[in-house]
Amino acid sequence: MAGNMCTESLQADRQLLDPHFDGYKLSLDTLPTYSVNVISGIDEVKLRGDQYTLQHVKAFGIHNHLILDQWHNNCVYYVNQQWKVIQHRIILESQLEPGNEVFEATDRSERCNKPRHNVTLNFPSPDLCVLSDGTGSLYLLATGNRDCAAVQPWQTLFREEVCGFYKPFVILHSMVQSSSALCISVDCLLLCIEEESAEESQSTTPSHFTAFLDWVTITKPNESTSFGVSRKRRLRSQLAPFYAAIEQRGQALLIASESEYEVINDSDHTTTEETKAEDLSAKPDTAHPLFTWTQTSEDVIVTFILLPSTPKTDVQFLLTAETIHLAINSSRDLLLGSFYRQVDVQCSTWTLENGRLEVTLAKSEEGVMWPEVVEGNPDGQYVVDADQARIIHERLAHLTSQQLNPDPVPGSTQSGIGPHDLEECDALPEEYSTLVRLDGNTHQVTNRVSLSSHQFLFNAQTHPDKPPCICLRHDVDGLLWQPDLSTKEHTSPWYHTATYNALGYVQASKMDRKYSSCPANCSYAVICDSTRHVYVYRQPTPISTPLRNRKSGRVVGQIAKQQLISLESIDDILGIACADERVYVLTTNKLYIIRVTLT
């Protein structure tokens, strides 16, 4: 990666941590719950039989069908089976009205029969929306004032199949970089999974499915022109990310994933992949070594692979005790220079058979192992001789044993450490996760954080004009990290903004968990089962009468409450959204509104 990359760790704010957290107290207080019927069902797209890879499961296995308008927290949206975007604007929970249709994607009857994903939408500004119909079309929509009693149908400003004809994708994030009467620029981050050929794919599995992030910039240069794609960047990896967003300034991507992402195409710049292609065309292929060599205590054997039609008369071989000059037709040097140690010229030979040229060099000093054949020559690859490997193994055998505690301390009854002594915390993670900042112009990673010890919990949008937060497990807590626009050079672009005490431990205990989230003010966290149950975990609040812990004797001045909401229906829960005062829960037939803040 980039030479100036800053490798760092996530620095938690100690003032936001509570080492004396006593746990959540179950509250039996009833939270007012209201509901309204869903119009024409939910457009739910399930994985097909050919979408069997880990990439598909991670990217599309669990989809949140309920979208909260982060600019107007009393507005939520879903897409029904008629491909219509339905808005619910909640002012008074006791006076709920049916949802209003604000937009309908076109060509439903034709495109729904194609391989597709769920419809996704995102709000980059108070009056714009980007929408993917799940079949390959990206829309930019003018919404007007969405928090308005009079419903305004959304108008299409732009529509294009930006990833290719009928290549489905989902929207991960969008952001307006400039907005004025003269120029409007919207960045969209899209995720798609495509099947590549065996030659193109980076995957080690036979399926050859690869994850792509398409960073598309849609621009209207001036008032008299229409919207169009002004720049497109494509990134490739083996796995879909569990977090990806565009930096607020539009200069970089923030990606958390279990595999690396590389820019393979940029309409404005030469990519790393294109540079490699130019380099390969300008110079001979150096991906494979020019020769291989091995050695024993007596000889050094050097092997070259030539064309099968190469005659022995083309081989030019000049050998002295200290130097070698091996060439083909005196025009192509294969090996030239001074030996590491002297050789016995009389006992050294070469053979050529079916294009395999093998040079055997007899060492003048037997038993001396060579680190290289010719001094300063990097073109060879050393291959360990089988007999030599056996000798080395016998020399080091005393360092290991196949017996349990073969040489215990005299008089000790301890049987040694075995697998039964290890606990779950002693196991290394199966996958290596990183959180990186990837510069959109240099295509290099500028900041990297290892997430091997920090389990991903959920993503949440706490500021409408900033990238989403990522919640990670630190010990037993859940820590919320916000990408920071105001960071200085070579400092971390993520800062600790909130803590949910013991949430990592709590979430691990929820076997039926489907969704997790939190509101913008971070006053509580929600864990939602696949059916019926919703759990609310509130931040600690002061109590009027301090209590004393019976075990420790410590005075407790605040408590954190846990509340359980049981929905009336047992229908599948298809989405949740959290506002400061309400939790919205979407099922196959109803939208539930739970009032969590009573004022």
User: With bands split at pLDDT 50, 70 and 90, how would you rate the model's confidence at 197?
Assistant: low
Phi, psi angle pair for 281, to nearest 5°: -75, -20
Please report where in the chains the tokens 């739910």 appear, as a residue. Answer: 44
Q: What does the pLDDT average to over 92-110? A: 85
Residue 531, pLDDT above cutoff 90: yes
Residue 469, pLDDT above cutoff 90: yes
Residue 191, pLDDT above cutoff 80: yes
Q: Are 227 and 298 found together in one domain?
A: no
Assign 590 to helix, strand or coil.
strand
CATH number of the structural domain spanning residue 329: 2.60.40.790
Residue type, 594: I
Among the candidates 378, 399, 423, a domain finishes at: 378
Q: Tokens for 470?
A: 């990522």
Residue 161 lies in a domain: yes
Q: Tokens for 75?
A: 């507005």
Half-sphere exposure of 577 (CA within 13 A, CB side): 23
- How far is residue 105's CA from residue 131's CA, in Å, rounded to a whole number? 9
Q: Tokens for 473?
A: 């497990």
pLDDT of residue 381: 84
Contact 79, 86 (CB under 8 A): yes
Q: Tokens for 107?
A: 């060509």
pLDDT of residue 179: 60
List 167's β-bridge partners, or say none.
Answer: none
Q: What does the pLDDT average to over 377-381? A: 83
Per residue in 567-599, pLDDT (tens digit) is: 988 999 999 999 999 999 999 999 999 999 876
- The angle subtended at Cα 74 by Cα 40 and Cα 175, nearest 5°, is 95
How many domains does the structure of the chain reveal?
A: 2
Average pLDDT score over the chain: 83
Q: Are 198 and 301 found together in one domain?
A: no
List 192's β-bridge partners, or say none.
Answer: 212
Residue 262, pLDDT above cutoff 80: yes
- How far is residue 131's CA from residue 139's CA, in Å, rounded to a whole number? 5
Per residue in 42-86, pLDDT (tens digit) is: 998 887 776 667 677 777 778 999 999 999 999 999 999 998 999
- How far is residue 85's CA from residue 125's CA, in Å, rounded to a whole number? 18
Contact 131, 105 (CB under 8 A): yes
Closest by CA to 137, choosing from 188, 101, 179, 89, is 188
pLDDT of residue 418: 41
Q: Are 90 and 168 found together in one domain?
A: yes
Half-sphere exposure of 31 (CA within 13 A, CB side): 22
Q: Are 195 and 96 found together in one domain?
A: yes
Range of the structural domain that residue 61 is part of: 37-240
CA dist list (Å): 392 to 187, 294, 364, 369: 58, 15, 22, 12
Q: Which range among 34-43, 108-117, 200-209, 383-392 has the greatest average pLDDT?
A: 34-43
First to last CA, the chain: 53
What percentage of the chain has pLDDT greater than the value 70?
Answer: 81
- The angle subtended at Cα 32 by Cα 31 and Cα 33, nearest 5°, is 110
Residue 211, pLDDT above cutoff 70: yes
Q: Are 230 and 304 found together in one domain?
A: no
List 241's β-bridge partners, or say none.
Answer: none
Q: Tokens for 173?
A: 């994030």
What's CA 161's distance to the chain center, in Å? 24
Q: Tokens for 429?
A: 């993670």
Per residue in 237-248, pLDDT (tens digit) is: 988 999 999 998
Q: What does the pLDDT average to over 451-478? A: 92
- How far is residue 254's CA from residue 436's CA, in Å, rounded to a whole number? 6
pLDDT of residue 221: 82
Residue 90 lies in a domain: yes
User: With bands split at pLDDT 50, 70 and 90, how would you rate the model's confidence at 424?
Assistant: very low
Instruction: Specify the DSSP class assigned to residue 181.
Output: S
pLDDT of residue 11: 87
pLDDT of residue 399: 43
- The angle subtended at Cα 263 by Cα 261 and Cα 266, nearest 5°, is 155
Contact 507, 516 (CB under 8 A): yes
Q: Are 211 and 122 found together in one domain?
A: yes
pLDDT of residue 166: 81
Per residue in 353-372, pLDDT (tens digit) is: 888 899 999 999 988 888 88
Residue 247 lies in a domain: no
Q: What is the 3-state secondary structure (H, E, C) of 43-112?
A: CCCCCCCCCCCHHHHHHHCCCCCCEECCCCCCEEEEECCCCEEEEEECCCHHHCCCCEEEEECCCHHHHC
Contact 100, 151 (CB under 8 A): yes
Q: Are 217 and 340 found together in one domain?
A: no
Q: Are 229 and 320 found together in one domain?
A: no
Please report where in the chains the tokens 């968990």 appear, as a residue. Answer: 513
Q: Tokens for 349?
A: 């030979």
Half-sphere exposure of 190 (CA within 13 A, CB side): 35
- Number of Cβ within 10 Å of residue 461's Cβ equals 21
Q: Are 233 and 297 found together in one domain?
A: no
Assign 236 to helix, strand or coil.
strand
Q: What does the pLDDT average to over 491-495? A: 82
Residue 99 lies in a domain: yes
The sign of the dihedral angle between the CA atoms of 238, 241, 246, 248 is negative
Give me the sheet containing 343-353, strands edge to edge: 343-353, 356-363, 299-305, 291-295, 380-382
Of 288-302, 337-351, 518-532, least confident by mean pLDDT is 288-302
Q: Are 210 and 148 found together in one domain?
A: yes
Per residue in 555-566, pLDDT (tens digit) is: 777 889 999 999
pLDDT of residue 288: 60
Closest by CA to 218, choosing from 146, 130, 143, is 130
Per residue in 297-324, pLDDT (tens digit) is: 899 999 998 888 888 888 989 999 999 9
Residue 508 lies in a domain: no
The sign of the dihedral angle between the CA atoms of 63, 67, 70, 71 is positive
Per residue in 153-178, pLDDT (tens digit) is: 999 999 999 888 888 999 999 999 87
Among the candidates 180, 207, 240, a domain finishes at: 240
Residue 472 lies in a domain: no
What's CA 30's distance to the chain center, in Å? 39
Residue 136 lies in a domain: yes
- The angle subtended at Cα 338 by Cα 334 and Cα 340, nearest 5°, is 110
User: With bands split at pLDDT 50, 70 and 90, how would you rate the model's confidence at 482?
Assistant: very high
Q: Beta strand 291-295 with 380-382: parallel, antiparallel or unpaired?
A: parallel
Please report which helix (H) or strand (E) contains residue 265, including its range: strand 262-266
Residue type, 70: Q
Among the candidates 240, 275, 299, a domain finishes at: 240
- How far is residue 374's CA from residue 302's CA, in Å, rounded to a whole number? 11
- The angle subtended at Cα 114 by Cα 108 and Cα 115, nearest 5°, is 125
- How far is residue 26's CA from residue 64's CA, in Å, rounded to a whole number? 28
Q: Are 215 and 322 found together in one domain?
A: no
The model carries a pTM of 0.71
Instruction: Specify the DSSP class assigned to residue 404.
Output: S
Q: Are 211 and 349 found together in one domain?
A: no
- How far is residue 360's CA from residue 363's CA, in Å, rounded to a whole number? 10
Residue 550 lies in a domain: no
Contacts of 277 (CB under 8 A, 6+ apart): none
User: With bands split at pLDDT 50, 70 and 90, how would you rate the model's confidence at 487?
Assistant: low
Alpha helix ranges (H) inside 501-560: 503-508
Contact 460, 469 (CB under 8 A): yes
Contact 90, 582 (CB under 8 A): yes
